[in-house]
Amino acid sequence: MEEKRKGRLQKVPFYWGMLQVMITKGAVTVSYTAMYTYTSELFPTVVRNTAVGCCSTIARVGAIMSSYMALWLVEAYGKLAMVIPFSLLSLTAAILTAAFLPETMKKPMPESISEVEGTKI
């Protein structure tokens, strides 16, 4: 059964794999832009550096875990199988960011924790 799965995935045309890689790269770029630009606007000034540092740490842990997941997917299903989960996760993160987080354009950035406590995030 494993060989049957590998055979089907290896028959996927090259351009389909390249399209998936390009979509994934775009989604990852959007995610990092959101993390470093948008999240820094959400946190008050007194904890902004610490909060962005925590977000960055979580992203680095995810990057470490993704390399192990990629190795497992390549061994189990072939080279093209690793692109699908990563592209879907990145696209989901971008959609959730755009849909549920508040707009910060032309609004004053919070200076203290008490200013943020009354907002709805």
Residue with tokens 């060989």: 3
Cα distance between residue 46 and residue 113, in whole Å: 8
What is the model's pLDDT at position 8? 59
Report the chain's mean pLDDT, rounded to a whole number: 81
What one-letter code names the amino acid at 97? T
Q: Tell whether pTM > 0.85.
A: no
> In the chain, what are the domain boundaries?
24-97
Nearest Cα to 16, choosing from 73, 83, 78, 110? 83
Cα distance between residue 88 and residue 94, in whole Å: 10
pLDDT tens for residues 82-112?
A: 778 877 887 898 788 788 877 778 888 888 8
DSSP-assigned letter for residue 106: T
Please list, in sequence order, all residues whose beta carbon lies within 8 angstroms of the beta carbon of residue 54, skipping any fewer than 6 positions away.
none
What is the model's pLDDT at position 96? 86
Q: Work out the pLDDT band at 114, boundaries 50, 70, 90.
A: confident
